[in-house]
A and B are shown apart, each in its own frame.
Chain A
Amino acid sequence: MVTVICVGCGAALELLYRQPLREMEKLGWLKVHGLVDAVEQRAQTAAGWFRQARGFRDLEVAFDTLGQTDLAIIASPPAFHASQAIAAFERNCHVLCEKPMSHSASSAEEMVEKARKHNRLLAVGMARRFYPAVEMARSWVRESNGSPLVFSYREGSLFDWPVASPAQFRRSTGAGGVLIDKGIHAVDTLYHTFGPGRLVRSADDAAGGEGVESNAALELAFCSSRGFLQVSWESPLNNGFHLASEGGELWLPLSPVDAVWRRRRAGGQTWEKVKARAAWPSNLASVKPTMVTPMNVFECVRLQLVSVLRSILLGERPVASGDEGLEVLRLVMAAYEQATPLQQPWLPVSEQRTLASTHWKALTGVRAKTLGDQPCPSINH
């Protein structure tokens, strides 16, 4: 049985992990024996959700009190991820870290190094890798045999996560805004679909000082694919992940998790709806595990937990490893590094000028660069 400590008892634990952890506890796969949160009341409340768990304010005290722990699930604010993960590795504990892996690439690198040094697992919470639709997009890209692809990925909606504090909306504590929050899922989906990539250019609307962006746009290039990503905390966009090649098009609304539309360019304009059927092991059997196709985000989170337990117990490769999480974080951090003011031509001219002059990069004196110098893959539309 895997012993578990949950670090950070906010909305992620309550809404995403609580239910599958309780279920797995009943199945005897794991035991949650510690809950850690800087706000003791939250830790105590969360401890009540599990059979034999105790609440703590301090992670070191929890480790000292509880003895050997196999897995730490880190779902605290991102600024604490690195120090908490490193503390866990030093106690010979595996780590499943919620996204973003950390608030800086250097601290994430340190997490990966420490995991390697202590020979522990570092998995990153990227539940979208379990979306059957995303898996279908990966297969579609593989089948295109390196022919040029273009993509667009848009995801916008009013921020609606029940955060307990404004920490996420300050640069010093949140590291960024919509890009490191919602955008990191999107960048990870692109990375998972296309493989390693690079930033071409980026723009956001963050103001100087403690301001964080509520809109961001990135142009990205992957092996034979090029396209852009746009995320918003402010309003809906024409949401969806759209891929096109000479051979056809694929469109994923991303909700529901298994919905995919495709059409053949040669066959006219009619879209065909396809149900993605990719499945993952849903139990800990080493031989012929039961395979399940997730139908919603909850089931994806559950399968992600199963995957982590299988990695610990059976030595399987995690679906989202620390190395991959680091690569994704580097792309996001590069986007912050290179950010230019987002063009907002719908605003009155005076307001546009004010926003450009108060953009966080303008105020910090960092000149943004455009890296893109390679032509887009050419595709006839």
Chain B
Amino acid sequence: MNNSTDICQTRNEKPSQQHTSNTLFDSGLPTTKIAIVGAGGFVGARFLRLVRQHPKAYGVGIVRSAKSLARLSNMEVRVADTSRASCLAGALVDCDTVVNAVSGDLSRVLEETETIYTAALAARCRLLVHLSSAVVFGRALSPNIEDDSPPDTRSWMLYARGKARSEVFLRQAMSAQPAMQVVVLRPGLVWGPGSHWSSMVGEQLSRGPVCLSNGGRGIANLVYVDNLVQMILAVHGSEGGPAGFYNVGDPQQVTWSHYYQSLARRLGYAETDIRTWPDAHLPLTPKLALEWCLQRQPLYRAARWLLPRVGLGFKAKAKKIMKGESLPPHGREGVPTAAPRLSREHWALQNTAFCLPTNKFFRDYGPLELTPLEDALDATASWLRFAGYAATGPFDLSHLW
């Protein structure tokens, strides 16, 4: 059943749930409800699917609009206005744990965090797991960054500023209101089947040779989506575990070159399809200047207001300028003769200097049986083949049947 419910109108009905035994999720706790706010997103949707296999936890998705139900068919989902704490509290009322996985309006990250915190408190939830981001430490230029290091609230990125300010708010809230446990998890790039950070690799490879900035040596602070879900469940399952801030990531340190090469090899591309360029700085271009402008809150909000009002034609043109023209399969050729043209965000990611330490999380909530890197790469490559990104070309349908 698609158990979608408008929380302000009708009562949801509890669907029958298959509780498949899974050693990874075994725990002695009674069945408890976990609500995930932002269930229509990549992490939220995967969380709801995986939690169905959990013998002692029951997942409830919270979304702000009906369109998010498209990928959540057959899940228990409640539609609630996540910008109003009172409405959201109604949706959370029977839940033990609330996970904040909202990813929407970049200019409202702090407000949404405040609303979810207030609603969870009003609904007397036991635990709030807030998904922050490793981006609060920018390019991680120091090896001394720790879980409790202060986040960069003045980052050039609107999203990073919002996440950093949310952390500041939650740190104050933790000390002022101990009635609810708050755990902040700081994942890096969440990858895996269906992730943007994985389809991006397939998309680029299928168009021709790829060129990585910084000689491909930059650290890809990755966390496999199923591993992130397990970390959230570990926090949920650890009754009375410590509150606080935690960097979370895959156990292995991976460079961008390794990430691309590993997926490319599995998809059948040649090693030479991944090139590197030893650039050290970001060249200034009009497109990057426009990107920078859109990271200013008033301009971003103006653009968001404008976009639905300008029509599809203008939207298509703007998209073409920002993302570039769609190229046919193997449509990009040649050996790179200049630094790759990356967005500022991608350049910053490929120029990340250090891996964030995750020892504190595993000390407090581990050890966990996580998906090993090689298995995660296999699974992701399998999905990329399904999505049509194998080197064998677009007519290969062997992966579908």
* Chain A interfacial positions (CB closer than 8 Å to B): 19, 150-152, 154, 156, 158-166, 168-170, 177-178, 201, 203, 206-214, 217, 219, 227-228, 230, 232-240, 242, 244, 251, 253, 255-256, 259, 261, 263, 269-271, 295-299, 342-348, 350-351, 353-354, 358, 381
Contacts and interface: CB of A to CB of B under 8 A. Distances in A.
A233 B70 contact: yes
B352 interface: no
Interface in B188-202: 193-194, 199, 202
Given A158-B71, A219-B400, A238-B329, 14 more contacts: A19-B311, A158-B70, A159-B68, A164-B66, A207-B74, A210-B74, A230-B388, A234-B70, A296-B316, A299-B313, A344-B386, A346-B383, A350-B22, A381-B395
B401 A354 contact: no
A348 to B, nearest CB: 8
Contacts of B18: 354, 358
A255 B73 contact: no
Interface string B329-345: 11101000000000000
B295 interface: no
B313 A238 contact: no
Interface in B343-401: 379-380, 382-383, 386-389, 393-395, 397, 399-401
A379 B90 CA distance: 60
Interface of B: 1-2, 4, 15, 18, 20, 22, 42, 45, 49-50, 52-53, 65-74, 79, 193-194, 199, 202-203, 206, 226, 311-313, 316, 320, 325-331, 333, 379-380, 382-383, 386-389, 393-395, 397, 399-401
Nearest to B3: A210
A159 B40 CA distance: 10
A189 to B, nearest CB: 16
29 contacts: A158-B70, A159-B68, A159-B70, A159-B71, A166-B4, A166-B66, A169-B66, A169-B69, A169-B73, A203-B401, A207-B74, A209-B74, A210-B1, A212-B2, A217-B397, A228-B397, A232-B387, A234-B194, A239-B326, A251-B329, A255-B316, A263-B328, A296-B312, A346-B383, A346-B386, A350-B22, A350-B53, A351-B49, A381-B393
B14 to A, nearest CB: 13
- The 10 A-B residue pairs with the shortest CB-CB distance, nearest first, are A238-B388, A159-B70, A211-B74, A296-B313, A253-B326, A207-B74, A346-B382, A251-B328, A346-B379, A261-B328
Nearest to A253: B326
A375 B74 CA distance: 37
B395 A297 contact: no
B372 to A, nearest CB: 13
Most buried by A among B42, B202, B389, B395: B395
A214 B326 contact: no
Contact of A230 (B206, B316, B379, B400): B400
B399 to A, nearest CB: 8
Contacts of A166: 2, 4, 66, 69, 79
B73 A177 contact: yes
A343 B70 contact: no
A269 B334 CA distance: 12
Contact of B4 (A169, A237, A269, A271): A169
A57 B400 CA distance: 45
A351 B53 contact: yes
Contacts of B333: 269-270
A219 B387 contact: no
Contacts of B387: 154, 156, 232, 235-238
Contacts of A165: 66
A29 to B, nearest CB: 21
A348 B71 CA distance: 19
A315 B382 CA distance: 52
Contact of A177 (B22, B49, B70, B203): B70
Contacts of A164: 66
A163 B71 contact: no
A248 B203 CA distance: 23
A369 B346 CA distance: 46
A225 to B, nearest CB: 12
A238 B70 contact: no
A343 B398 CA distance: 11
B67 A162 contact: yes
A42 B153 CA distance: 43
Nearest to B202: A238
Given A177-B73, A211-B73, A255-B326, A238 B395 contact: no
Nearest to B331: A271
Nearest to B198: A235
Contacts of A201: 401
B182 to A, nearest CB: 29
Contacts of B70: 158-159, 168-169, 177-178, 214, 233-234
Given A150-B395, A209-B1, A212-B2, A350 B20 contact: yes
A342 B387 CA distance: 13
B328 A298 contact: no
A237 B388 contact: yes
Contact of A160 (B67, B69, B386, B397): B67
